[in-house]
């Protein structure tokens, strides 16, 4: 969906660009000797074809050109290059030069957790085709145990998992995997020191990141996997992907908060808070007291929609703790965050995750819903809806259940929503490259305007859904 992609691109926080380079897995797995190296994966008879494998004329299942596609199109392939960039040198320099601060080596080790898991394992696997950065086994798991079995016709997913392969087809597993870097964790802590040194903030949303990888744009860019079969076979896969991402992000964010509070050494951790609470130009007070005047708001990026998956009582306890006083006692926060994390279920909905369910889900909590972060998440959720309703309509179309006039009408409505959302996306995006300041925050009443725009597009999405439902 090129339009969607372009619109999404307009929210081009630097975060996304950089963070997209970062994804990967725990280095613990990489440093063990279960790795066989991507050289093994990318031979021309396996995943290293330059043309897709065709079965009776069509591409079905694994195209066997995964490695080529990965190398050509996937941003993760550049992860190692990031570590050679002058920007990285500047960041590591700033972080290691402070008095009594960490050494360069310590900082590098920390960065490599996400940016160079392959490099950290390179000693053990000298044959690795990609000796730095992120490669096959970073995400799919060290191949020693399952290499010999995974191409066999009758092998089951569960038996491969038992052998050490990661079940990336499971959306929750995939969500956790991506969130482990794109949100972070105990060893992958993009804290405020790092942000101030120049690292972009992490703002992850699984479905949007997928669209970034899978969208075909002018360059014919595409992901190294083909999920057409799942999309056809699963109702509202896009919503399910989004749901898995929301829960995985919340889980990772809470674990990160726990570890930050546990360490305590640099508590309070600013990275937990809404950047724009503090980072704003001083302006005359508008008289609206949103929370406590002069206290930063806890950043809600990873919890705007995740509430229903948690026990609301413990979640409110944590929210109160983070809201009431800026410098909460770290051990109290740690326990509160841990309670919420443990209470997290695997679903945000009482029923199967579908677009009609998502349309009913309110963004919360109310006092943070006016923040830029909450508005972005609402925007992203509406993008998910727009795509998912579109996908479902396309399925009906392929089944021959849509008349020409219906198609025209649906496409017209959808085009309008896309247009409206593109305008909202522009408001939420940063004004230009030099001044990284979302437009919406730079104009008076901007937040209120975007809020009402999103309410309007939500109404239109509901109408689109209503148009689709009877034709199923």
Strand-pair partners of 273: 298
Distance CA 359, CA 447 (A): 21
CB of 425 to other proteins, least distance (A): 18
> Which residues of this protein are in contact with other proteins, per CB under 8 A?
14, 87, 90, 94, 97-101, 191-198, 265-270, 275, 278-285, 287, 289, 292-295, 325-327, 433-437
- Distance from C-alpha of 180 to C-alpha of 185, rounded to nearest angstrom: 6
**Cα–Cα distance between 247 and 172 in angstroms, integer?**
8
- Specify which residues 58 forms β-bridges with: 55
User: Tokens representing 301?
Assistant: 């990026």
How far CA 44 is from CA of 47, 54, 55, 376, in Å, comes to 7, 15, 17, 43
Please compute Rg for the chain using Cα positions. Answer: 23
At 26, list the tokens.
């725990």
Residue 304: CB minimum distance to other proteins, A? 20
Residue 128 near residue 37 (C-beta atoms within 8 A): yes
Q: What are phi and psi of 339, to 5 degrees?
A: -60, -40
| Chain centroid to CA 376 | 13
The residue among 384, 397, 409 whose CA lies nearest residue 466 is: 409
Write b or e for each residue in 98-128: b if 16 or more Cβ atoms lie within 10 A of its Cβ, otherwise e. eeeeeeeeebbebbbbbbbbbbbbbeebeeb
Distance of alpha carbon 119 from alpha carbon 31, whole angstroms:
9
Residue with the two structure tokens 């959306």: 171
Q: How far apart are CA 104 and CA 96, in angstroms?
A: 5
Pair of tokens at residue 232: 């056809």
The DSSP symbol for 54 reads: -
Cβ atoms of 146 and 35 closer than 8 Å: no
Judged by beta carbon, residue 64 or residue 92, the one nearer other proteins is 92
């Amino acid at each position: 969906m090129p339009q969607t992609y372009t619109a999404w691109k307009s929210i081009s926080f630097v975060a996304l660009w950089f963070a997209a380079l970062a994804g990967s897995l725990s280095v613990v797995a990489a440093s063990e000797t279960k790795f066989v190296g991507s050289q093994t994966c990318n031979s021309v008879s396996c995943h290293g074809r330059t043309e897709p494998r065709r079965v009776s004329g069509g591409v079905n299942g694994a195209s066997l050109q995964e490695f080529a596609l990965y190398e050509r199109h996937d941003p993760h392939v550049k992860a190692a290059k990031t570590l050679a960039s002058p920007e990285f040198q500047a960041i590591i320099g700033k972080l290691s030069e402070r008095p009594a601060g960490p050494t360069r080596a310590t900082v590098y080790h920390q960065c490599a957790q996400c940016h160079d898991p392959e490099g950290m394992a390179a000693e053990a696997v000298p044959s690795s085709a990609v000796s730095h950065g992120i490669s096959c086994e970073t995400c799919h798991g060290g191949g020693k145990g399952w290499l010999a079995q995974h191409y066999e016709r009758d092998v089951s997913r569960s038996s491969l998992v038992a052998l050490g392969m990661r079940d990336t087809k499971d959306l929750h597993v995939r969500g956790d995997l991506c969130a482990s870097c794109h949100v972070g964790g105990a060893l992958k802590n993009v804290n405020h020191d790092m942000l101030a040194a120049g690292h972009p903030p992490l703002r992850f949303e699984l479905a949007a990141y997928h669209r970034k990888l899978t969208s075909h744009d002018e360059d014919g860019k595409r992901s190294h996997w083909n999920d057409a079969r799942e999309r056809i076979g699963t109702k509202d896969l896009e919503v399910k992907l989004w749901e898995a991402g929301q829960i995985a992000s919340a889980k990772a964010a809470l674990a990160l908060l726990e570890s930050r509070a546990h360490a305590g050494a640099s508590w309070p951790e600013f990275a937990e808070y809404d950047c724009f609470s503090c980072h704003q130009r001083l302006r005359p007070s508008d008289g609206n007291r949103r929370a406590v005047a002069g206290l930063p708001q806890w950043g809600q990026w990873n919890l705007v929609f995740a509430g229903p998956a948690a026990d609301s009582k413990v979640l409110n306890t944590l929210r109160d703790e983070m809201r009431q006083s800026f410098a909460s006692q770290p051990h109290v926060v740690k326990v509160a965050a841990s309670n919420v994390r443990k209470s997290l279920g695997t679903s945000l909905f009482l029923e199967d995750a579908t677009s009609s369910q998502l349309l009913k889900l309110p963004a919360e909590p109310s006092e943070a819903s006016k923040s830029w972060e909450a508005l972005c998440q609402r925007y992203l959720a509406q993008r998910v809806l727009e795509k998912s309703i579109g996908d479902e309509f396309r399925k009906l179309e392929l089944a021959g259940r849509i008349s020409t006039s219906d198609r025209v009408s649906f496409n017209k409505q959808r085009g309008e929503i896309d247009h409206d959302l593109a305008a909202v996306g522009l408001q939420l995006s940063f004004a230009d490259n030099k001044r990284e300041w979302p437009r919406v925050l730079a104009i008076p009443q901007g937040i209120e305007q975007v809020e009402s725009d999103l309410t309007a597009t939500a109404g239109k999405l509901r109408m689109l859904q209503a148009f689709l439902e009877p034709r199923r």
